[in-house]
Amino acid sequence: MVAFSPDQFHIALAGEGGKAADQVEALLAEAGYRCTRMALDLEGLRQVAQIKPSAILLFDCSAEQENWLLNLVEGNPNAPVVLALCDTSKLLSAPEWLYDVVPPTEIGSALLHRLNRALIFSDMRALTAEQTEKLGLSRAQIGMLSMIDVVTGLFNRRYFNKHLAESFAASTRYGRPLTVMLVRVDNQSELVANLGQELANDVLDTLANTMASIIRRADTAARIDEDLFGFLLPETPRQGASLLVKRLIGRLERTAFPYDAEVVVSTSAVEVSPSHQQPGAVLEEALASLPEQPAAAQD
């Protein structure tokens, strides 16, 4: 297990992160981590092979960068965990190499917390069968640690993408209905500004518990971005999702959020159809169907 002495860990900062990368590098250095900046190219792969980082913080997300990471992690059981600090909208069908997505607003203590959790998972992943037995953990339980959002206890984007791909395949193969529903917190930045990140996380946790309480066991709830929750609703047509949205709005109106906070949400729902050639297309359409955020929420 990890006895946290940060200087034991080498962190790679990959990609052109600009000021954000400078800020993260200073933050990690102050916390005691060793850091190396690298480009997402062949030379970067050589650097990874040399320094064997425990984690990679990714500042670029595109199809080219996805190929770079596939070359790094494919077939490598000791590959570093990867956390993205960038817009991952181009990686909607992201494979399992993506451990977590860290919003830019969480650069600070929240980033350190997420990184520590990733390193714990990485360390546990390397445990022997004898060690996991002594801890009372199965390999499956250790694997699940990488799929849970630390703030809400819901599944994270990594699991959501994986399960979306599986559910999409089953839906298209057998002709069964499947709907993807999104819930966006429109005043997330306002909550953080007024309460601070830690207290705002308490509000998100209450929201997550409220939403999880109204879905079925067969449904999947996940936090897939800082202000965005995703739901997979098998055997549910679009009309069924509309009824669920009405129930959700009614429940939220009756929910007492911590610190008397007000939570403003927008929703969208898209049913899988023959026009969707891949699972990412369903999520893209659901994202595009969300109402435009109020100007105050975008600032």
Q: What is the mean predicted confidence (pLDDT) over 35-40?
A: 90
* Sequence-separated (6 or more) residues with CB below 8 Å from residue 22: none
What pLDDT is stored for residue 88 in this prediction? 61
* 102: amino acid identity, one letter: V
DSSP state of 276: -
6-147: CATH homologous superfamily?
Response regulator (3.40.50.2300)
Q: Which two structure tokens, joined as six digits, stand for 144?
A: 């699940």
289 with 242: CB under 8 angstroms? Answer: no
Among 117, 101, 105, 209, which residue's Cα sits nearest to residue 159? 101
Query: What's the 3-state SS for 72-110?
Result: HHCCCCCCCEEEECCCCHHHCCCCCCEEEECCHHHCCHH
- Residues 160-214: tens digit of each pLDDT: 988 999 999 999 999 999 999 999 999 999 999 999 988 999 999 999 999 999 9
What pLDDT is stored for residue 139 in this prediction? 47
Which of 97-106, 160-169, 237-246 has the least mean pLDDT? 97-106
Q: What is the mean predicted confidence (pLDDT) over 2-26?
A: 81
Q: Is the pLDDT of residue 289 over 60?
A: yes
d(CA 283, CA 4): 38
d(CA 281, CA 287): 10
Among 91, 269, 274, which residue's Cα sits nearest to residue 171? 274
What pLDDT is stored for residue 146 in this prediction? 63
DSSP-assigned states of every residue in 197-209: HHHHHHHHHHHHH
Q: CATH number of the domain at 155-298, out of 3.40.50.620, 3.40.1190.20, 3.40.50.2300, 3.30.70.270?
A: 3.30.70.270
Among 73, 151, 160, 155, which residue's Cα sits nearest to residue 117? 151
* Sequence-separated (6 or more) residues with CB below 8 Å from residue 106: 114, 197, 226
Q: Which comes out higher in pLDDT, residue 243 or 97?
A: 243
* Sequence-separated (6 or more) residues with CB below 8 Å from residue 101: 83, 84, 88, 156, 157, 224, 225
* 73: amino acid identity, one letter: V
What pLDDT is stored for residue 110 in this prediction? 73
Whole-model pTM: value is: 0.62
Q: Which two structure tokens, joined as six digits, stand for 222?
A: 């996940």
Q: How far is C-alpha 53 from the chain's CA centre? A: 21
Phi, psi of 13 (to 5 degrees): -105, 105
Q: Is the pLDDT of residue 94 over 60?
A: no
- The radius of gyration of the chain's CA atoms, rounded to the nearest angstrom, is 20
pLDDT grade for 255, boundaries at 50, 70 and 90: very high
In the chain, where are the structural domains located?
A: 6-147, 155-298
Portion of the chain with pLDDT greater than 70, in percent: 81
